[in-house]
């Protein structure tokens, strides 16, 4: 195999474990804390999880290992979108499992949860694992978005586990996957299968966090990668002085990625979807805000700038959500065929005009024609508009261009506006994990095995105190049910892990809010540069600004 020098060097990197996990397996003991309760809807959640609800928070510490000796056969699954560090979760799990007993076995189910249902797996050994240490990607076993949620699937999973003598399943995933891990744990416990389930918090979106989980893995590396690129673009903008760059960044719904990139690079504009929703901002108001920055900078002779747009923003614009709802209704069932049979865009436009309310038609009319057409082309399997595919970076630059044209006619603006568009998402999901993610992920995997060894099920592997150096990190576990509440999903009340959106009264947003007016008018760009893997800890081991601000250091 051809290896890049960095890949070769990263194989040799020894991830840092929390101090309490460094003593060797025989010297890790468990300390149980208080019983837990779900964050809300305690009666309903406890009734749905009679076997796994209310369990105690646990922490590991130095002391005699008192876990019962038992051969462990563990299956691991990567679920959902890639996030840097996933390989290290598997490596940490493998190392702890083998350090406990060479008889222990680790299965990797391929291509996500479907691998468990289809009994499609690999069995790891040293040579296999060593080729993936500290590398990005999920290619070690692949990932997938099949949801493990029905009783029928659970029964198949139980059969597969029985066939291989599997004692525990580790699910590495986001809020939905870990919700399903909790439901699977409950099913296994209720049916006395003897199979434990442990989750690990993954997603570059950063929206699986709460008072127990300080951040999901992958967020650190992905945001550092995007911030490097945004910083480079800022420097280019400031050199050429002729373009406004509209940069969409991933984050299916929450704006944590956009906010972190803004804190790292100090762009002229960064939209925060949660604020758009809170203030019920219209598309026109958002465009005004950006046009205002363009005009103020132009008045100072700066016809360039950078605007960060979170991927999910349009869904948070109330009038846009209503429009999407009406379009879904307009094309429901066989009505789509009538629409598709129309030959020209003019005929289609007339059909749309007839079907939408006056208010939604006014919003629709504001959109550039390419976006209007996108709304009718890109449909999901249920026939709904796929909002995530809307090129919002192009939408906002077109709206701003229209505003500026009017401002020019009114004598309020006399600059030049030339826009370029970017979308950063896939570029960051498989980067070599930063030292932080390499260390954090390895610790999550190692710790997941300790939870298995001590007999816990329905727990999320928890590493905390993350804004401090790794030797001060705290390892333990939290019942997943503690993070759950009831939410309406597809017309039904369901127990789910609460998704963490950006808090407008949280310190990261408040810092941004306090500085953004200056950033909008002046050029205050900061250039984070590429992730550094070797060198002083002050450069190589720094975590995100979000975590630092949240933790007050
Ligand atoms: P997860 O929540 O599954 O970790 O995935 C996050 C994400 O990267 C989002 O930021 C993005 O909207 C989505 O996945 C893209 O999904 P896909 O990989 O299926 O295109």
pLDDT at 382: 67
Do the domain assignments include residue 45? Answer: yes
Where is 455: in which H helix or E strand?
none
The two structure tokens encoding residue 1: 């195999």
Instruction: Tell how strand 419-424 and strand 244-249 pair up.
Output: parallel
Ligand 1 centre and the CA of 8: distance in Å?
A: 29
pLDDT at 318: 94
**162 and 255 share one domain:** no
Do the domain assignments include residue 149? Answer: yes
**259 and 335 share one domain:** yes
CA distances from 381 to 83, 124, 384, 386, 430 (A): 26, 36, 7, 10, 28
Q: Give the phi and the psi of residue 108 in degrees, each rounded to 5.
A: -115, 115
pLDDT at 186: 97
The C-alpha atoms of residue 521 and residue 294 are separated, in whole angstroms, by 8
pLDDT at 70: 92
Ligand 1, atom 1, lies closest to the CA of 81
* Neighbouring-strand partners of residue 497: 484
Atom of ligand 1 nearest to the CA of 426: 8
Ligand 1, atom 14, lies closest to the CA of 81
Mutate-to-test residue for ligand 1 from 82, 207, 250, highest number of ligand atoms within 8 A of CB: 250
**393 and 369 share one domain:** yes
This prediction has a pTM of 0.95
**204 and 232 share one domain:** no
Do the domain assignments include residue 8? Answer: no
* Neighbouring-strand partners of residue 305: 244
Ligand 1 centre and the CA of 291: distance in Å?
A: 30
Ligand 1 centre and the CA of 429: distance in Å?
A: 9
**358 and 406 share one domain:** yes
**pLDDT of the chain along its 553 residues, tens only?**
689 999 999 999 999 999 999 988 999 999 999 999 999 999 999 999 999 999 999 999 999 999 988 999 999 999 999 999 999 999 999 999 999 999 999 999 999 999 999 999 999 999 999 999 999 999 999 999 998 889 999 999 999 999 999 999 999 999 999 999 999 999 999 999 999 999 999 999 999 999 999 999 999 999 999 999 999 999 999 999 999 999 999 998 899 999 999 999 999 999 999 999 999 999 999 999 999 999 999 999 999 999 999 999 998 999 999 999 899 888 887 788 888 899 999 999 999 999 999 999 999 999 999 899 988 886 776 667 777 788 999 999 999 999 999 999 999 999 999 999 999 999 999 999 999 999 999 999 999 999 999 999 999 999 999 999 999 999 999 999 999 999 987 778 999 999 999 999 999 999 999 999 999 999 999 999 999 999 999 999 999 999 999 998 7
Give the CATH number of the domain where residue 392 resides.
Answer: 3.40.50.460
Q: Give the phi and the psi of residue 70 in degrees, each rounded to 5.
A: -165, 140
Give the CATH number of the domain where residue 122 resides.
Answer: 3.40.50.450
Ligand 1, atom 7, lies closest to the CA of 81
The two structure tokens encoding residue 263: 């804190």
Dihedral angle, C-alpha 127, 129, 132, 136, nearest 10 °: 170
Ligand 1, atom 8, lies closest to the CA of 81
The C-alpha atoms of residue 90 and residue 77 are separated, in whole angstroms, by 9
Dihedral angle, C-alpha 337, 341, 344, 349, nearest 10 °: -30
**173 and 159 share one domain:** yes
* Residue 126: active-site member: no
Ligand 1 centre and the CA of 23: distance in Å?
A: 37
The two structure tokens encoding residue 43: 């009666």
Q: How many domains does the chain have?
A: 2
| Longest CA span, the chain | 80
Do the domain assignments include residue 314? Answer: yes
- Ligand 1 cavity residues, CB under 6 Å: 80-81, 83, 174, 203-205, 250-252, 311, 388, 429
Do the domain assignments include residue 99? Answer: yes
Sheet with strand 244-249: strands edge to edge: 269-270, 305-310, 244-249, 419-424
% helix / strand / coil in the chain, to the nearest 5? 45, 15, 35
Ligand 1, atom 2, lies closest to the CA of 203
**68 and 108 share one domain:** yes
Q: Are 27 and 67 in contact (CB under 8 A)?
A: no
Ligand 1 centre and the CA of 80: distance in Å?
A: 7
Instruction: Tell how strand 305-310 and strand 492-497 pair up.
Output: unpaired
**231 and 136 share one domain:** no
Ligand 1, atom 6, lies closest to the CA of 81
Closest CA to 180 of 496, 498, 448, 479: 496
The C-alpha atoms of residue 243 and residue 260 are separated, in whole angstroms, by 23
**199 and 299 share one domain:** no
Ligand 1 centre and the CA of 145: distance in Å?
A: 10
End-to-end CA distance of the chain: 43
Do the domain assignments include residue 144? Answer: yes
Structural domain that includes position 386: 220-425+506-550
The C-alpha atoms of residue 309 and residue 503 are separated, in whole angstroms, by 17
**338 and 271 share one domain:** yes
**395 and 441 share one domain:** no
Closest CA to 441 of 222, 189, 231: 222
| Given 175, 176, 205, 207, the catalytic residue | 205
Do the domain assignments include residue 9? Answer: no
**74 and 176 share one domain:** yes
Boundary residue ending a domain (454, 472, 497)? 497
Do the domain assignments include residue 342? Answer: yes
């Amino acid at each position: 195999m051809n290896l890049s020098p960095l890949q070769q060097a990263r194989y040799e990197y020894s991830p840092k474990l929390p101090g309490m996990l460094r003593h060797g397996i025989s010297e890790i003991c468990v300390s149980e804390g208080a019983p837990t309760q779900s964050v809300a809807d305690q009666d309903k959640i406890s009734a749905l999880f009679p076997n796994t609800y209310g369990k105690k928070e646990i922490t590991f510490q130095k002391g005699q290992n008192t876990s019962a000796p038992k051969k462990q056969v563990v299956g691991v699954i990567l679920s959902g979108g890639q996030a840097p560090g996933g390989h290290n979760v598997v490596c940490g799990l493998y190392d702890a499992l083998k350090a406990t007993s060479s008889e222990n076995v680790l299965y990797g189910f391929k291509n996500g949860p479907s691998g468990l249902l289809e009994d499609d797996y690999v069995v790891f050994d040293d040579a296999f694992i060593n080729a993936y240490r500290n590398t990005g990607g999920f290619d070690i076993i692949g990932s997938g978005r099949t949801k493990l949620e029905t009783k029928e699937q659970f029964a198949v999973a139980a059969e597969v586990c029985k066939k291989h003598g599997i004692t525990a399943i580790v699910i590495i995933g986001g809020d939905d996957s870990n919700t399903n891990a909790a439901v699977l744990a409950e099913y296994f416990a209720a049916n006395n299968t003897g199979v434990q389930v442990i989750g690990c918090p993954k997603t570059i979106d950063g929206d699986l966090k709460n008072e127990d989980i300080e951040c999901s893995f992958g967020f650190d590396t992905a945001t550092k990668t995007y911030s490097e690129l945004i910083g480079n673009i800022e420097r280019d903008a400031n050199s050429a002085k002729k373009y406004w760059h509209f940069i969409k960044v991933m984050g299916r719904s929450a704006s944590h990625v956009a906010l972190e990139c803004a804190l790292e690079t100090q762009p002229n504009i960064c939209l925060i979807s949660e604020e758009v929703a809170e203030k019920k901002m219209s598309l026109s108001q958002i465009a005004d805000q950006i046009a205002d920055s363009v005009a103020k900078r132009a008045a100072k002779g700066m016809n360039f700038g950078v605007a960060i747009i979170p991927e999910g923003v349009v869904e948070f614009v109330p009038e846009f959500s209503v429009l999407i709802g009406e379009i879904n209704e307009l094309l429901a069932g066989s009505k789509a065929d009538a629409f598709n049979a129309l030959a020209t865009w003019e005929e289609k436009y007339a059909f749309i005009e007839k079907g939408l309310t006056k208010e939604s038609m006014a919003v629709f009319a504001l959109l550039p024609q390419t976006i209007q057409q996108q709304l009718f082309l890109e449909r999901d399997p249920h026939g709904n508009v796929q909002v995530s595919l809307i090129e919002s970076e192009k939408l906002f630059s077109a709206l701003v261009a229209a505003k500026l044209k009017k401002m020019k006619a009114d004598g309020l603006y006399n600059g030049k506006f030339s826009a370029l568009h970017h979308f950063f998402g896939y570029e960051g999901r498989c980067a070599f994990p930063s030292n932080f993610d390499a260390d954090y992920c390895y610790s999550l995997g190692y710790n997941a095995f300790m939870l298995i060894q001590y007999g816990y099920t329905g727990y999320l592997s928890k590493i905390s105190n993350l804004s401090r150096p790794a030797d001060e990190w705290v390892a333990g576990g939290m019942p997943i049910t503690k993070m759950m509440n009831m939410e309406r999903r597809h017309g039904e009340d369901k127990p789910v892990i609460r998704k963490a959106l950006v808090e407008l009264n949280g310190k990261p947003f408040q810092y941004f809010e306090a500085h953004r007016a200056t950033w909008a008018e002046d050029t205050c760009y900061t250039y984070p540069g590429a992730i550094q893997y070797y060198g002083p800890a002050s450069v190589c081991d720094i975590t995100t600004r979000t975590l630092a601000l949240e933790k007050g250091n």
